[in-house]
Amino acid sequence: MGFIKEFKEFALKGNVMDMAVGVIIGGAFGKIVSSLVDDIIMPLVGKALGNADFTNLFIPLSGQADGLTLEKARELGSVFAYGQFCQNIIDFLIVALCIFFMIKAMNKLSKKKAEEPAPAPEPSNEEKLLGEIRDLLKNK
């Protein structure tokens, strides 16, 4: 099964357990993933795009001067802060992939448990007695 198809099935199947695990893991690893995006991934992407600082990418809507930081531009009026939005999209995708891989690993473990053959049940007392009688009759 292809990776994209498997991810699509995961995202659309609506299993309550998968969603609960996703919420728990998303909350637990949210800060770690945000730090990964903010402190490691986005600076590298910004460097690759010519030292762009995504947190300060915006379009002024109220005639603010160029060269302002996002905070100062917001103080002076409305802005279209698309850089922060891009950063949040990358953050979401990383969280979604982490949850997907965790669920995939859990499903693989549960399949292995289901595939293991159950040990043969012990014979009942009646079967043991019948076996003993058969063995005694053979020896006579």
Structure confidence by residue, pLDDT tens digits, 40-81: 887 887 788 787 777 778 888 888 777 788 888 888 888 888
Q: How far lies 26's CA from each of 15, 21, 33, 48, 99, in Å?
A: 16, 8, 9, 28, 7
Helices (H), 15-68: 16-35, 42-48
Q: Looking at residue 94, what is its pLDDT?
A: 78
Q: Looking at residue 125, what is its pLDDT?
A: 87
Q: pLDDT tens digit string along 108-122? A: 887 776 666 777 788
Closest CA to 13 of 110, 103, 108: 103
Q: What share of the chain has pLDDT > 70, as a percent?
A: 86
pTM: 0.51
Place of tokens 């979401």: 92
* Mean pLDDT across the chain: 79
Q: Looking at residue 14, what is its pLDDT?
A: 62
Q: pLDDT tens digit string along 81-91? A: 888 888 788 77
How does DSSP classify residue 60?
Answer: E
Q: How confident is the model at residue 16 (pLDDT cuts 50, 70, 90)?
A: low
